[in-house]
Amino acid sequence: MSLFPPNSAPDTEKVNGSDAATRALSVTAVENDFVAKVYENLAWAYDFVFGPTLHTGRLQALKRMGIQSGDRILEVGVGTGINTTLYPRDCTVTGIDLSASMLEKARERVARNGIENVRLLEMDAADIKFSDGSFDIVYAPYLISVVPDPVAVVREMHRVCRPGGKIILLNHFRSSNALLASIERAISPFTVHIGFKSDLDLPAFLAQAALTPISIEKVNVPRIWSLVTCIKD
């Protein structure tokens, strides 16, 4: 059953392909040390550069969560804590991030706004230190295209999500347009220095992570970002 009524059904991308389960996700490879260094350098400017421009997608993701009172939410890649002011105060939020500098900004934001339902922890997204089924909603905003192993991260997200819970990804993926895709592949080795791979292959990623979305929506302006919503079986 679809989560959304027919008259509000989101745009859906093609998510299959004969070699999706085996092909490389990106032409660019990164390691945790590189990612941590990039975000240590970006921490001071992240809100200014990526705050307003990507905020529409954040708001749409919050809608798709359908947060209920008492829900336990894990935000994977909490960064500077931009989302922390958006969550209802009657849920509990755990935010994790690999970057100490980003987390420092997040803690300052939480303290400044008097937010008491959010805890922030330094943690590797590919090795989440929580038990199976610990959260009702697991959310990764603008993260999957920068981590060394996106599939490993999503498998961890799936593990810590309870059965029937939501797994939500907000991210840039490679265009289905052949010309744009070739450009995104060409610039990917450079875009990683500002925090993301521009050529992450969505159909291959979904196949290799064994994810079946209930919706894929284009968000933000320009509409080159995707909001992927899944329900854990």
Q: What are phi and psi of 201, to 5 degrees?
A: -85, 110
- Integer Cα distance of 32 and 35 in angstroms: 5
| Region of 18 on the Ramachandran plot (φ > 0 left; ψ -120 to 50 alpha; else beta) | alpha
pLDDT tens per residue, range 18-60: 589 899 999 999 888 888 888 888 888 889 888 999 999 999 9
Residue ranges and CATH numbers for the domains of the chain are: 30-174+210-231 (3.40.50.150)
Residue 36 pLDDT: 82
Percentage with pLDDT > 70 across the chain: 92
Judged on CB neighbours under 10 Å (0-12, 13-18, 19+), 35 is buried
Average pLDDT, the chain: 91
What is the residue whose two structure tokens read 């085996």? 22
Q: What is the pLDDT of residues 108-156, one digit of tens each?
A: 999 999 999 999 999 999 999 999 999 999 999 999 998 999 999 999 9
To the nearest 10°, report the CA torsion of 143, 83, 194, 36: -70
Residue range 59-64: mean pLDDT, rounded: 98
Q: Using alpha carbons, select from 158, 159, 202, 189 the residue that is nearest to residue 30.
A: 189
